[in-house]
Amino acid sequence: ILNVEQSPQSLHVQEGDSTNFTCSFPSSNFYALHWYRWETAKSPEALFVMTLNGDEKKKGRISATLNTKEGYSYLYIKGSQPEDSATYLCAFPYSGAGSYQLTFGKGTKLSVIP
Amino acid sequence: KAGVTQTPRYLIKTRGQQVTLSCSPISGHRSVSWYQQTPGQGLQFLFEYFSETQRNKGNFPGRFSGRQFSNSRSEMNVSTLELGDSALYLCASSPGTGPRHEQYFGPGTRLTVT
């Protein structure tokens, strides 16, 4: 069984606070690590696809880092805003029979309090 | 470009019936994946189709099946519905198949089995 773990499960922060959460994945057979944001009543939306150890990607106030040797990725949000409230999912492509399937963590639900 | 569309958006079925859900990918995308989302399990991979061929299948019973047409539109079918099949079914399209392609999700079909 492939384990993709995310912590914490949920988080409440005040507007303006910076926050971060973690995704842990198997450190072997690494191909990529995906991050998605899922706002209520909307579709999940890709944030980053990370491929290289030590990679750091940034989109506005959101950034992510990757450590493939130890099997973890951090997502950071600087100066959280109410519109950042969403569930953040990471996903690990698992290879089976020459093709891949995304295995998702259960997500971190972020609530930003105005 | 139009996004991924799914029909119907909501569906109520009775145990034992069958159901067909439809997904139209973003124009030019040849890969379509299906996922089941339930509160307890999170997003789980059902199957992926690429160029009308099933590339990969998740750990679901044979009651779950799908197909892809030459225009890349995809359908999934669930036969002999069970109460536990109540879930949000998401499809996602991608320009290609492989671990580094981000997924573009549709709005989902909410299936309720009574």
Per-run averaged pLDDT (10 residues), chain B, 114 residues: 93 98 96 93 92 92 96 97 97 92 96 97
Give the pLDDT confidence of A44-103 residue by residue, as tens digits.
Answer: 999 999 999 999 999 999 999 999 999 999 999 999 999 999 999 999 998 866 678 899
| CA dihedral (B50, B53, B55, B61) positive or negative | positive
CB contact under 8 A, A34 and B103: yes
CB atoms within 10 A of CB A29: 11
- Partners of A105 on chain B (C-beta within 8 Å) are 42
Phi, psi of A40 (to 5 degrees): -60, 135
Are B43 and A34 within 8 A, CB to CB? Answer: no
- In one-letter notation, the amino acid at residue B92 is A
**Are B56 and A101 inside 8 Å of each other by CB?**
yes
Residue B10 Cα, gap to closest chain A Cα (Å): 13
- Which residues in chain B touch residue A36, judged by CB atoms under 8 angstroms apart? 103, 105
Q: Is B21 on the interface with A (CB under 8 A)?
A: no
Backbone angles phi, psi at A82, to 5 degrees: -55, -35
Contact of B33 with chain A, judged by CB distance below 8 Å, is answered with yes
Strand spans (E) along chain A: 5-7, 10-14, 19-24, 33-38, 45-50, 56-59, 62-67, 72-77, 86-96, 99-104, 108-113
DSSP one-letter string for B34-64: EEEEETTTEEEEEEEEETTEEEEE-S--TTE
Q: Please indicate whether, in this complex, the C-beta atoms of A102 and B45 are within 8 angstroms of each other.
A: yes
Q: Which residue has the higher pLDDT, A27 or B16?
A: B16
Return the pLDDT at A28: 86
**Which chain B residues touch A103 with a CB distance below 8 Å?**
45
